[in-house]
Structure 1
């Protein structure tokens, strides 16, 4: 489940980007009832992108921003309370770690769903059913 965390340089104190990434991933697992799951946890992956202010925009203007984007199987984030709870918590994590410097209005989150059967782990294209079965063993 890749998380792409994109931040304007300096929005978070140097070095806290990793903490933000970890806390957002922990939140996703928690909201899905998968904290500590031995199958899911190693498959929560991603990248942190730090961009200079002249390369981040809002309202067509250079702006300090944060983008939180998940790519997940189509069964993930399928309940409204999970969507609302995680996005509120993830936004709060970035806002808090910025020391309140980055307003919540400049933090965006979105979730992209993969087509069923097109989720690849270790070279195997897995269906939602296969992924669900694997998760029960973790």
Structure 2
């Protein structure tokens, strides 16, 4: 995100500066980088999934948290919600073009975590040994 200050209507605007508490980017960052956002976006990278398949793919997420995150990411323009007629209706989620664009850096982060997870766990253990717990 651009961290510059833009002038809008004569007043400085911090839009695009996620370090500013009034920046809408801060909310978007929370949706994407929160506990579930990264996993939802990564799970949809290979194609659309129905709600329950997505829930099953992301171990540990509750239906309530999945629904909340799907609503937020859809509102942000990163996901598309499609409803097929039927009884009951079939609802599936897929990435928009912006969502697909986001998978590149997110996958890089997930790959880095996979490579460095053992090192991080070892560092945590060393820290806990030196400082008496977690």
Q: Does the pair score TM above 0.5?
A: no
Greater share of residues in helix? 2
TM-score, with structure 1 as normaliser: 0.23
More contact order relative to length (CA 8 Å, sep ≥ 6):
1
The structure that has the greater radius of gyration is 2
TM-score, with structure 2 as normaliser: 0.24
